Structure 1
Amino acid sequence: MADYSAIMALVLERRSYSEIVQMLGCSRREISLVSKTVKARGITAALAASLSRDELAELFPDGRKNVSAGFVQPDFAGVVKSMKFNRHYTLQQAWHRYVQAPAGQDKKKYGYTQFCQLFNDYAAVHEVVATLHHEPARTMLVDWAGDTLPLVDAVTGEVAKAYLFVAVLPYSGMVFCKAFTDMKQEAWNSAHVQAFETYGGVTPIVVPDNAATATNRHSKGDSTRVVNPKYQQLADHYGTAIVPAGPNRPRHKAAAESAVNVVNKRVIGYLSEEVWMTLAELNTAIDERVDEINEQIKRVDGSTRAGQFTTEEAQLLQPLPADRFESVEWKQLKAGRNYHVTADYQHYSVPYKLTGQILKVRLTGVKITVFDGESVACEHPRKHGRKGQYSTLAEHVPKQHQNIDGLWSPKWFLDRARPFGPATVAVITAILERAKIPAQAFLDCQNILSGLGKNNRQRLEATCQQILNQNGYPTYTTLKRLTASMNSDSKQAPPPVPAPPNTKKPAASPDLDEHIDVYVRGADYYQEGW
């Protein structure tokens, strides 16, 4: 509604319509109405200043009230209730219900546009979102960032995804971010541990969403959720409570959503176009970006996240426990003939004398410990990322393998091929040389020597000689097919035989001279174009 008191004062000052519109933002129609009323009533500047709100309302009645009285008023309270009960309920559905409902005599219905505008006015008054006032050092909100970063394996060239875990202390806005190769329970728990250690303390409450690594249902169809047992172990260790946000209630962890948005723009947005070979390299770059978010970006009041955290929040955090939390998993694994045990598709060496034995293995997020009975046989840092990685300790290697330049190298495979024969050495050399990166050929070489040559070296040597005679393209698949066609373990591939000459001696005949040669057409004669 226009401010008629202000318009009247400017009209009495004899300001032009253009000046009044520019100053008050009102319409020329409203200025004209005020001007006519001033002239008709003989209103002076002194009288205009003394008019009350009710007197102004009598001079300039609001015609909209009379107009709205002729329309059926929507039940916006019912619309809001339906939206809360059914998240798929839309304003268009509400308008259709409103239009189809019976109307009173001489009553009209609002169009869809006006209906939406009236609903927005209602929501602005009745559905105001409350502002949460967070207490310092009370809550840590956690979530996975929606976007990922690519990780390129330096050996295979395979591209994997790095998932970013985000934590935030909502009072100061202090952000924590780390990348992991998956979003499984081990990564989820490890991310919390690193976040607590980065903040230097623990909050009494941790608020995650309802991911499977945080909560689960007792049974299918049960609406109630309970904290995941492994996640609860972490909470018990650090003396914190897990309070998941309500399902489909992003407002319950609005600070986490805001932090994820900041990470998407300030971390992923800056790093996504670069090539990252290792997770450690990527996390170093992420740390630099997060430091800029916390320490350099100033807010409206001139403070930074790190500054407010240090002065008002850090000292209020609960202290860290004496021991770091480690989720432990136990397995019984057999040491293979290559004196390695395999856990989660990664290979770890054991003393070669334990080959063939069943060993007890303890796995944590950062370490793998192998037990021989009750004593510790060895320990390895835990491998993550690309499957099939090897962790081999020099003291575990038998003497016959110690005089080579490292296991799984071109020289190592060539040394293993020599006892088979020269043809096998030539095939292994060809496979190694055609690979852009020698390590890309290691698996084929291993399969050929340990797989095809496991039961009979003569057969593999004969197969390699055959493919060399044919100038073939040696691969594990080709050699496997040729080996299967061998009908005897002792069969040897014949040595290369030169092509027969184009002339031959005819049988003895009294009519022919013994020294006359008979010429035979060679293969070239039958080539196209002759």
Structure 2
Amino acid sequence: FFVAILGASQYTYAEASMSQQKEDFVASVENAMRFFQGTPAAIVPDNLKSAVVRTSRFEPTINETLADLAEHYETTILPARAYRPRDKSLVEGAVKILYRRIYANLKDSKYFSIEELNQEIWNLLDAHNNKKLTGRPYSRFELFMEDERHELQPLPLERFEIKYQSLATVMQNGHVQLSQDKNYYSVPYQYLKKKVKLLYTSSTVEIYFKYNRIATHMRNPKPYIYTTNPEHMASTHQFVAQWNALRFIEWANSIDPAVGEYIMQIIESRNHPEQAYKSCLGILSFEKKVGAERLANACKRALDFKIYNFKTIQNILENSLDKIPMEHEKEEDQDLPDHGNIRGKNYYN
């Protein structure tokens, strides 16, 4: 249960979240600022790990994701001191009040989604914020609108996107792998074999080398896809940019489903899909040499062997093993011999 409160008016925001992990915590902090319709000069969080990685009396280490949120909203993070409840006395008091005004009204009800629960919380929260303060002729909301609303800074137009990071080495074809999605993004060819850092959100991928951004791409969630900026590619590598796993799989399926299955198995068996592309190209080129039927039969036999490489298909075709019926085909097609010692089915009638 997340609670945020403004210092002067005591205007309060609350919501339920699935966990205290950084993704949920940062989302709740952002939701609070959107609810307040402005950015405060400072945010004072408790010392949970999603906010403070390491506590210190003088220089606490702020969680990197929360620090990114603060930078996006042009505010700062000032964590409460450990074991100093006075630093956050207002929110501690708000938690106690909301326990009585919200939890007490919800504890006997059942909710089947976090959205449904939060909608009921916000209905009760609205009543709380509009209730007159004890001994005062005004509510928290009225005090907020009169004294505090204009003190908040304007919100940025775009919401914050959490950045994740990944390390990778630039491959010989001028791409780096985003292991989260199993897809690839180009960098300038001058950085071949260099170690780089990928910072990615739900929509973009940024690639850095020694703190310098060398490439930016729109994120593509589909696996085995190459996202390439032609300007990044050296002339000797530009033809490779046209290759991708989906292209080979579709080409193979147009010949025969067995060929498609075999090509997919080759790609899956490699640590990096591009390692399989030359093998795929070589196998698919057999269609022009031996025909689609022989290539399909060779792939069926190789699938039975569970051996996935170009050499296996080449050996099967060179030795005409694709023309020999497989064992299960022999058993299906084989008729019983005509012999006097065989009793036949009528014997058992």
Is residue 2:200 matched to residue 1:378? no
Contact kept, 8 Å, 2:175 with 2:186, in 1: the verdict is yes
Return closer, same or farther for 1:248/1:452 CA change in 2, 3 Å cut-off.
same
Structure 1 residue 310: deviation in Å?
2.0
Which residue of the other structure, out of 123, 128, 134, is the alignment partner of 1:292?
A: 123
* Secondary structure at the counterpart of residue 450 of structure 1: helix
Partners of 1:286 and 1:446 lie apart in 2 by 48
- Counting only pairs closer than 5 Å after superposition, residues 181-196 of structure 1 correspond to structure 2 as 183-184=21-22, 188-189=25-26, 191-192=28-29, 195-196=32-33
Q: CA deviation at 1:175?
A: 0.3
**2:335 aligns with one of 487, 493, 500:** 500
Report the CA distance shift for 1:422/1:174 in structure 2 as closer, same or farther (over 3 A): closer
Structure 1 length as normaliser, TM-score? 0.39
**2: CA distance, partners of 1:287 / 1:240:** 26
| 1:273 to partner: Cα distance | 1.0
- Quote how far apart the aligned CAs of 1:259 are: 7.7
Query: Residue 450 of structure 1 aligns with which residue?
Result: 267
Q: 1:342 to 1:206 in 2, by over 3 A?
A: same
- Of 205, 228, 234, the match for 1:368: 205
- Cα separation, 1, equivalents of 2:338 and 2:55: 88
1:483 alignment counterpart: 306
CA drift at 1:206? 0.8
Residue identity over aligned pairs, in percent, reads 13
Q: Tell whether the 8 Å contact from 1:370 to 1:378 is kept in structure 2 after alignment.
A: yes
Q: Which position in structure 2 is the counterpart of 1:228?
A: 61
Contact 2:164/2:200 (8 A) holds in 1 = yes
1:379-419 deviation digits (Å, cap 9, x = unpaired): 33598xxxx87887697895566xxxxx86xx984533456
Counterpart Cα distance in 1 of 2:215 and 2:338: 74
TM-score, normalised to structure 2's length?
0.54
Q: Given residue 451 of structure 1, which amino acid in structure 2 is its aligned partner?
A: E
Identify if the C-alpha distance between structure 1 residues 333 and 340 changes in structure 2 by more than 3 Å, giving closer, same or farther: closer
Farther-moved stretch of structure 1 (260-269 vs 307-316): 260-269
Does 2:112 match 1:273?
yes
Worse-matched range after superposition: 309-318 or 357-366: 357-366
Question: Is 1:246 equivalent to 2:88 in the alignment?
Answer: no
- Deviation of 1:214 after TM superposition, in Å, equals 1.6
Q: What is the DSSP-based 3-state SS (H/G/I as helix, E as strand, rest coil) of the residue aligned with 1:310?
A: helix
Distance 1:296 1:211, change over 3 A: same
Give yes or no for the alignment of 1:167 onto 2:4.
yes
CA distance, structure 2, for counterparts of residue 521 and residue 339 of structure 1: 70
Q: 1:225 and 1:348, CA in 2 relative to 1: closer, same or farther beyond 3 A?
A: farther
Aligned counterpart for 1:520 among listed residues 323, 342, 349: 342
Distance of aligned partners of 1:339 and 1:394 in 2 relative to their CA distance in 1, 3 Å threshold: closer
Work out which of the residue numbers 237, 257, 265 in structure 1 matches 2:95: 257
In 1, Cα distance between equivalents of 2:187 and 2:88: 57
Q: Decide which of 36, 39, 44 is 1:206's aligned counterpart.
A: 44
Q: Verify the 8 A CA contact 1:190 1:365 in the aligned structure 2.
A: no
Provide Cα deviations, 1:185-207, integer angstroms capped at 9, x if missing partner.
x6645654554454313155614
**Kept in 2: contact 1:209–1:246 (CA 8 A):** no
CA distance in 1, matches of 2:140, 2:308: 71
2:118 & 2:226 partners in 1: Cα distance? 31
Greater radius of gyration (CA): 1
The SS at the match of 2:336 is: coil
TM-superposed deviation, 1:352:
9.2
Instruction: Map Cα deviations across residues 297-319 of structure 1 (whole Å, 9 max, x no partner).
Output: 64366976544422333234467
Paired with 2:15 and 2:263, the residues of 1 have a C-alpha distance of 40
How many correspondences in the alignment? 292
Unaligned ranges ≥5, structure 1: 1-144, 146-164, 219-223, 277-281, 402-406, 429-444, 468-478, 505-517
Secondary structure of the 1:503 match is coil
Cα separation, 1, equivalents of 2:106 and 2:214: 42
The verdict on how the C-alpha distance between 1:382 and 1:399 changes in structure 2, with shifts beyond 3 A counting, is closer
Shift of the 464–381 alpha-carbon distance from structure 1 to 2, 3 Å rule, reads closer
SS in 2 for 1:350: strand
CA deviation string 1:264-301 (max 9, x = no partner):
78899989414x8xxxxx6xx78866653454564366
Which amino acid is the alignment partner of residue 292 of structure 1?
N
Structure 2 gaps of 5+ residues are 231-239, 271-275, 287-294
Shift of 1:250: 12
C-alpha spacing 1:447/1:322, structure 2 compared with 1 (3 Å): closer
Letter in 1 for 2:336: P
Matching residue of 2:185: 350
2:54 alignment counterpart = 216
Distance 1:465 1:191, change over 3 A: same
Alpha-carbon shift at residue 503 of structure 1 (Å): 0.3
Q: Could you tell me which amino acid in structure 1 is paired with residue 6 of structure 2?
A: L
Contact preservation (8 Å) 2:196, 2:207: yes
- SS of residue paired to 1:246: coil
- Correspondences of 1:9-28 after superposition (within 5 Å): none
**2:252–2:259 Cα contact (<8 Å) kept:** no
Deviation at 1:208, TM superposition (A): 1.1
Give the 3 Å change call, closer, same or farther, for CA 181–209 of structure 1 in structure 2.
Answer: closer
**Alpha-carbon offset, residue 450 of structure 1:** 0.9
Give a deviation string over 1:97-117, Cα, whole Å, max 9, x none: xxxxxxxxxxxxxxxxxxxxx
Equivalent positions of 1:33-72 (< 5 A) are none
CA shift, 1:363, in A, is: 1.9
Which of 307, 310, 315 is 2:145 aligned to?
310
Match of 2:169 in 1: 334
Let me know the Cα RMSD of the aligned residues. Answer: 5.9
Contact 1:209 1:247 in 2 (8 A): no
Q: Deviations over 1:398-452 (max 9, x none)?
A: 5566xxxxx86xx984533456x55344xx4xxxxxxxxxxxxxxxx98624135
Whole-Å separation in 2 of the counterparts to 1:264 and 1:390: 48
